[in-house]
Structure 1
Amino acid sequence: MKRNLSKGLKVVFLAVYLIVMAFPLYWIVITSLKPQKDIFSFPLKYWPDRLTFQNYINIIKISKFHIYIANSLLISLSAAVIVVCISVLSAYVLARFKFRAHRHVMLGFFLTQMLPGFVALAPLYLLMTRLDLINTRASLVLMYTVGLIPFSTILLKGFFERIPSSLEEAAMIDGCSRMSALVRVIMPVMLNGIAATFIFAFVQNWNELFVAVLFIDDESLKTLPVAMNSFVMKFDVDWGAMSAGTVLSVLPTIALFAVAQRFIVDGLTQGAVKG
């Protein structure tokens, strides 16, 4: 009886937890399908009298939604690829070589994760202004890359430490250079970790708002989060358009997680074993 009661309570708790967590997503989706009059109706309608795709039609036809999507994809993918390429090399050095400043470098990486990012925004804005990179996609790619390299390096370092160094030593004995051994032997073994790091970097870049708002003013260069922010007006909020835009904006990340779910779970759990 006690065992059945315990299982029953767990099922009830998980069911309530699932409903609480899923309700905001349901509300966003159903709001995006409501006519304008039903969005502000009182009492609240948890299911509208009729469903409409007018909010989606408006946001696609009236706004430059396809441009915002293209900008977000270009910037997020570019920054994620650069982050992975640099982090793989830096994590390999930190995992395989012990040098005098090794502990200081790791401490510096950890400190960057403790400090809020907005602390450095003022000097970075001045730097970008002097480099004439304000209002360019390159500024966002550079900012996102710099911001994600420390964490990505820490994450990948755990994967390298799980792989015995004898593996690349054997490849080097067979004639490979160290770089060739890294690319041909080590990286295929830790593909899960590389994929998890790439996905983490992409999602962070895709959802980033604060830096993009500060560095981008041109309408044709805005990313999706910046465009979504424009629906919040001075005296009103276009909830229908914002909800429709939110649903469309999460579709790429949902597709990415659905395709690469195995890599994410295996990668993050394996990388956390040793760091």
Structure 2
Amino acid sequence: MKQRLGTAFKIVFLAIYLLLMVFPLYWIVITSFKPQKDIFSFPLRYWPKTFTMDNYINIFKISKFQIYIGNSLIVAILAALIVIVIAVLSAYVLARFKFRGHGQIMLAFFLTQMLPGFIALAPLYLMMSHMNLLNTRFSLVLMYTVGLIPFSTIMLRGFFQRIPSSLEEAAMIDGCSRWSALLRVIIPVMLPGIASTFIFAFVQNWNELFLAAMFIDDEKLKTLPVAMNAFILKFDVDWGSMSAGVVLSVIPTVVIFAFAQRFIVEGLTQGAEKG
């Protein structure tokens, strides 16, 4: 009896938790299809009488939403790829070799995660100004890359430490160089970790607002979070357009996650078969 009550309690708790997590997403999607008059109707309508695509049409006509999506994709994907390349190499070195200053480097990486990013705003602005990189996509790529390398390196170092060094030693005995063993043996096994780190880096870049708002002034170079922030007016919020923008902004993240998930599942399956 106690076991049944415990199971029932868990089911109810999980159902309530799921409802609380799903309902905001449901409300955003529904709001994006509501006419403006229905958004502020009272009592609240949990299912609109009529569906309209006006909110989606408006954000593309009025705000040039496709430009912002393109800018965010370019910056987020490019920065995430650069982060992965640098973090894989640095994590491999930190996981496989012991050298003077090894501990200090790891401590420095951890310390960078404890400091708020805005304290470096003034030095970054001066640096980008002297390099003539203000108001360019490359400035965002550079700052996002530098900001994510420490944490990404820490994440990948943990994955490297789980892979026995005997794998690459066996490959080197068979004639592979260390570089070849890394590319042909270790990297394929590391795909789950690399995919997870790439997703993390991409999502962080995709959602970043502070630096993008401070360093980009040109309307044609603004990223998606900056454009979404523009829907918050001085005395009002354009909830319909904002909801439509949120729905569209989630799509690239879901697509990339779904694509990377294939590699995660394949990597876990291969690990289970080898085990």
TM-score of the superposition, structure 1-length normalised? 0.93
Identical columns (%): 75
CA RMSD of aligned residues (A): 1.6
Work out whether residues 196 and 267 of structure 1, in 8 Å CA contact, stay in contact via their aligned partners in 2: no
Matched, 1:108 2:108: yes
Letter in 1 for 2:112: T
Letter in 1 for 2:185: V
Work out whether residues 192 and 263 of structure 1, in 8 Å CA contact, stay in contact via their aligned partners in 2: yes
- TM-superposed CA distance for 1:166, in Å, is 2.2
Specify the alignment match of 2:35 in structure 1.
Answer: 35
Q: How many Å separate the matches in 1 of 2:122 and 2:267?
A: 35
Q: How many Å separate the matches in 1 of 2:61 and 2:21?
A: 32
Specify the alignment match of 1:85 in structure 2.
Answer: 85
Matched, 1:18 2:28: no
Match of 1:175, SS state, is: coil
Specify the alignment match of 1:7 in structure 2.
Answer: 7
- TM-superposed CA distance for 1:55, in Å, is 0.4
Specify the alignment match of 2:186 in structure 1.
Answer: 186
Match of 1:164, SS state, is: coil
User: What residue ranges of structure 1 are gaps of 5+ in the alignment?
Assistant: 269-275
User: What residue ranges of structure 2 are gaps of 5+ in the alignment?
Assistant: 269-275
Change (3 A) 1:63 1:156: same
Aligned residues: 268
Match of 1:58, SS state, is: helix
Match of 2:34, SS state, is: coil
Range 170-179 or range 233-242, more displaced: 170-179
Specify the alignment match of 2:173 in structure 1.
Answer: 173
- TM-superposed CA distance for 1:131, in Å, is 0.7
Matched, 1:235 2:239: no
Range 4-13 or range 35-44, more displaced: 35-44
Specify the alignment match of 2:52 in structure 1.
Answer: 52
Specify the alignment match of 1:272 in structure 2.
Answer: none
Q: How many Å separate the matches in 2 of 1:261 and 1:174?
A: 32
Specify the alignment match of 1:271 in structure 2.
Answer: none
- TM-superposed CA distance for 1:265, in Å, is 7.6
Specify the alignment match of 2:149 in structure 1.
Answer: 149
Q: How many Å separate the matches in 1 of 2:164 and 2:5?
A: 47
Match of 1:159, SS state, is: helix
Specify the alignment match of 1:117 in structure 2.
Answer: 117
Q: How many Å separate the matches in 1 of 2:220 and 2:264?
A: 33
Q: Within 5 A, what are the aligned runs for 1:204-215? A: 204-215=204-215
Q: How many Å separate the matches in 2 of 1:24 and 1:203?
A: 20
Q: How many Å separate the matches in 2 of 1:129 and 1:46?
A: 50
TM-score of the superposition, structure 2-length normalised? 0.93
Letter in 2 for 1:258: A
Specify the alignment match of 2:67 in structure 1.
Answer: 67
Specify the alignment match of 2:161 in structure 1.
Answer: 161
- TM-superposed CA distance for 1:223, in Å, is 0.8
